[in-house]
Amino acid sequence: MGVLNCTPDSFSDGHQDNLETLVSRAKKMVLHGADIVDVGGESTRPNASPVDVQEELARVIPVVQALTSAGISVSIDTMKAEVMQQAIAAGAELVNDVSALIFDQGSLEVVASTGVDVCLMHMQGNPKTMQNNPHYDDVLTEVTSFFEQRIEACVKAGVQTSSIVLDAGIGFGKNLEDNLRLIANIDVIKNAFDMPVLLGASRKSFLGLMTVSEINQRETETAVASTVGIFCGADMIRVHDCLEHHKTVVVASQLTDARNHPAISEPCHAV
């Protein structure tokens, strides 16, 4: 999943590009291996301020229309039901909601009635407050419990379980140790629900805490975190640099396949 921020204030690549530039960036992501482009018009970085629904619509709908017209698969990164509805009408195939369809009461109905796929993400607090001393007694247990509740709410609203993707919300109301534990134990979430799992660790602050690297110099750290996540069961990674991390997916996936399906071959005899 390639990240296409249509915002001036996103933590990694915030700038206000015009439509032509955004479409060009998305096409390059697909050329570099992205299977889907995640279009967002409201920053969810720590301390981000909310965006008015009309402003968010103006930022993302023309982009979604242009990308889907070009044959590019699109997900819409939003917490607002109206933005979901219009993006789906414009061709978006997946709703990626960092609030897990909690923020807007109409979101469940939109997803259920349209039948699109949905990614439910865990977040403690909201983007404005989530990194103000986050705390868990047991982050893995609490995230798993949260998913149980949200999946139940989705099913009651008419969302098919086959349409649900889970995202533990790396960096969303988590400290360094929380993020590491979640990535290293993705298999616990995967096995608990038997649903696809998305991992979004790209360039995030916890990586910089370990290596003292700037935001745009964390591709190696992202690749390592993504590789471990894939090896532990992640089905998709959400990244900024699709060319670099397409290679990450190729190698990590083959390592995972080798563990799960070891090849039977003749031993190699030294000459």
Question: What's the rounded Cα separation, in Å, for the pair 72 and 28?
Answer: 11
Of the candidates 29, 28, 8, 26, the residue with the CA atom closest to the CA atom of residue 17: 8
Active site annotation includes 238: yes
Question: What sign does the CA torsion over 213, 214, 219, 223 have?
Answer: positive
Single-letter amino acid, residue 195? M
Q: Assign 28 to helix, strand or coil.
A: helix
Q: Assign 118 to helix, strand or coil.
A: strand
Say if residues 121 and 77 touch (Cβ distance below 8 Å).
no
**DSSP secondary structure letter of residue 217:** G
Active site annotation includes 218: no
Say if residues 117 and 95 touch (Cβ distance below 8 Å).
yes
Structure tokens of 219?
Answer: 């591709």
The partner residues of 119 in beta bridges, in order of sequence, read 96, 165
Catalytic residue among 80, 181, 204, 218: 204
Structure tokens of 188?
Answer: 């616990």
Of the candidates 174, 152, 170, the residue with the CA atom closest to the CA atom of residue 161: 152
DSSP 155-182: HHHT--GGGEEEE--TTSS--HHHHHHH
Say if residues 4 and 25 touch (Cβ distance below 8 Å).
yes
Structure tokens of 193?
Answer: 């629900």
Catalytic residue among 45, 80, 181, 238: 238
Structure tokens of 161?
Answer: 């379980």
Indicate which residues carry an active-site annotation. Answer: 204, 238
